[in-house]
Amino acid sequence: WTFFTLYVANGSLNSEKMIKPCEEDDPDCAVQYKSGGSEVILWGILLLSLISLYWTCTVMSNIIQVTVAGVMGTWCFNKTNASTCCSPAVTSSLHRSITFSFGSICFGSLFGAIVTAFRILTSIARNQDRNDDNNCSLEDGILVCIIECILSLIKDPIEYFNRWTYVYVGIYGHSYIKSGKGVIELFRARGWTLIATYDLVSYTLNFIAVQISICSGLAGVAIIALGYIYAPTPMAFCIGFIFGFFISSAMMNVIKKATNTLIVCYADSPAMLEENHPELAQEIAKAWISAFPDCRVILEKEPIIAVSV
């Protein structure tokens, strides 16, 4: 599907030369061509192709996120059902992600895909204006810059909202809108709205992923040095680095999603987490108090799911 989408997008970008009915130096022909709807149709095809591509990729990524959140939530509140890799928590969370919660996943993923597609289109339009001095105008450049700024402002809140919403979807199986309201009210009730914006875990895991990628690149260089494969050394390092980065990034993303789920579970019901994992709950409480002394966690017997209603 990715190659098909890229094939369609590449054909849409390069089809301008094939559909022009006359020479480029003919001014009447140029005016006739620009006044038609061929260019609008091509941009529409490109937009739909990009939305389809990014929507598909985002849905697959969010299915993993919801599945990890469901498994981690079960482990926090009922550890007996999530004791092994083939436990009922894994299969039930995956089944819920691709069935009951699949609509919420697709609905939330659509917004990010649309914004990303429009950002790519504005970038392509800006590059074409730079390469075509005759058609470039100050008004078009200003309009493209304004659109890029608006899309950048929209993208960050959507990613932040989806980051915690899908955790709630995976834990409780609520709809997308209800989960978003629930997790926002949860952090607001706990006074954690500022804490939720911290992303130190992502920086740490990304740094680990880069280190693994460098080690993979050096392993490729070592294979070349030992004479098992004959290839240029820079190429071997680049191939090892790329493979190591993709594999390590996939693993680190799972850990990142599990960490976000643990934060939500700790905010929702720290007493249940302490009941199932007392040592881990005490370590989290000590680290939490040392990092955020002003934020106090009240140990409750039941999760404050009522806040989400």
- The whole-number pLDDT of residue 291 equals 67
Residue 221: partners with Cβ closer than 8 Å, 6 or more residues away: 233, 236, 237, 240
**What gap in Å lies between CA 210 and CA 249, rounded to an integer?**
9
* Cα separation values, 167 from 104, 131, 259, 307, Å: 12, 44, 10, 16
In this prediction, the residues of the chain whose per-residue pLDDT falls under 50 are: 17-21, 28, 30-37, 298-309
**pLDDT digits 0-9 by tens, 12-28:** 556 554 444 455 555 54
Q: Provide the phi-psi class of 191: left if phi over 0, else alpha when psi is between -120 and 50, else beta.
A: left
- The whole-number pLDDT of residue 241 equals 92
- The whole-number pLDDT of residue 79 equals 81
- The whole-number pLDDT of residue 176 equals 92
**What gap in Å lies between CA 213 and CA 235, rounded to an integer?**
14
Q: Find tokens 């740094």 and name the residue.
A: 207
The tokens for 55 are 């929507």
Residue 231: partners with Cβ closer than 8 Å, 6 or more residues away: 224
**What gap in Å lies between CA 168 and CA 170, rounded to an integer?**
5
**pLDDT digits 0-9 by tens, 42-85:** 777 778 888 888 888 899 989 999 999 999 999 988 888 877 77
pTM as predicted: 0.77
- The whole-number pLDDT of residue 277 equals 87
Whether residue 116 contacts residue 185, with contact meaning beta carbons closer than 8 Å, is answered with no
- The whole-number pLDDT of residue 10 equals 63
Residue 236: partners with Cβ closer than 8 Å, 6 or more residues away: 217, 220, 221, 223, 224, 229
- The whole-number pLDDT of residue 71 equals 92
